[in-house]
Structure 1
Amino acid sequence: MASKKVVIALDNSEACKKAVDFAVDHFKEGYTYHLLHVQPRPYDASSRIAQAEATGNGHAVLWDIEKTAVKMTQKIMDDVFVPRAKSSGAEVVVKLVHCSPDCTSSDIGAAICEYVEQTKPAALVLMKENKGAIERIFVGSVTKYCVIHCCSPVIIVPASSAS
């Protein structure tokens, strides 16, 4: 088992392939890649399911929505990101972390930083978000949050990096 770790924070975007490729190219031998995805819970399904079950009014539809969202993310991880990471022969750990449906970029960033703090990797690799200046001011940025709050070095892969 590899003793060094790299956390690669991913969403389900095509651009995140570049983050995995960057890690494979720059953190070659002896690393375990932790592929991390923060998954917002749709419609806060878990709490509504609990409420519905407590009142004897089970809502299987909400549970199915949440299960489907998690399965879709897991499929993208397994079909797209895991094979890319394993192409180097490295060990790969997939981690899905849940947050509320109304989570902000700060909430997502905090979840990423918490995972980084727990795993103590050599680095956190993120894609640069392609937001304009105004959008960054009002919406925030996961990348910015992680750069400010993360306890490990943060590597930001620009969208224009080589594929």
Structure 2
Amino acid sequence: MAAAAAAEEKKKVMVAIDESDCSLYALDWTLRNLRDSMANSELLLLTVQPLSDYGYLYASSMGAAPPQLIRSFQESQEKVAVALLEKAKEICSENGVAAETMSEVGDPKEAICEAVEKLHVQLLVLGSHGRGALKRVFLGSVSNYCVQNAKCPVLVVKHPL
């Protein structure tokens, strides 16, 4: 009986997106190339709003930044995330795929891996920014971190530039 229940449970595929063309390409690639294998899967779209450093606001305002200014920046960041998820959901809808959306706040690479584990995701799809080795050393690589640390298979889709 447990095996039958597990077989009926939908598999979860998560596509992590940001404002880059690379992540939207990864979503489009997933919808075009994995459509048949995703027929019995649940598609989750995740975006992560990075924690903002408001230190520059303190320096520019000659002291503590007014709470309204910080709140305004946070609301602006949230609006960008909502718009991004709506655009991604529309792309899914145009391809006949229903998707759930979610937004997290934090370090993108850690938040993605935590969401994978918390939601029991079976496949994580990420876009690759195609940075060279030197840029990866200084800027880090979300996809590389997720390949090493996510608790599921990770598919990294490289944008053909």
Q: 1:98 to 1:15 in 2, by over 3 A?
A: same
Q: Tell me by how many angstroms 1:36 deviates.
A: 0.8
Aligned residues: 142
Q: SS in structure 2 opposite 1:109? A: helix
Q: Tell me which residue corresponds to 1:143.
A: 143
- 3-state SS of 1:42 partner: coil
List 4+ stretches of structure 1 deviating above 4 A: none
Number of the residue aligned with 2:82: 74
Residue number in structure 1 paired with 2:93: 86
Length-normalised TM-score, structure 2: 0.78
Structure 1 spans left out of the alignment, 5+ residues: 49-56, 100-106
Query: Structure 1 counterpart of 2:28, which letter?
Result: D
> Which of the two has higher C-alpha Rg?
2
Unaligned runs of 5+ in 2: 1-8, 59-64
Contact 1:3/1:32 (<8 A) preserved: yes
Length-normalised TM-score, structure 1: 0.77
**How far, CA to CA, are the matches of 1:32 and 1:111 in structure 2?**
20
Correspondence list, 1:103-114, <5 A: 107-114=107-114
Matched, 1:43 2:53: yes
Query: C-alpha offsets along residues 79-116 of structure 1, whole Å, 9 cap, x if unaligned?
Result: x21111223333311111101xxxxxxx4212111100
In structure 2, do the counterparts of structure 1 residues 58 and 138 end up closer, same or farther at CA, with 3 Å as the change threshold?
closer
Match of 2:124 in 1: 124
Cα distance in 1 for residues equivalent to 2:160 and 2:66: 48
Aligned counterpart, 2:72: 64
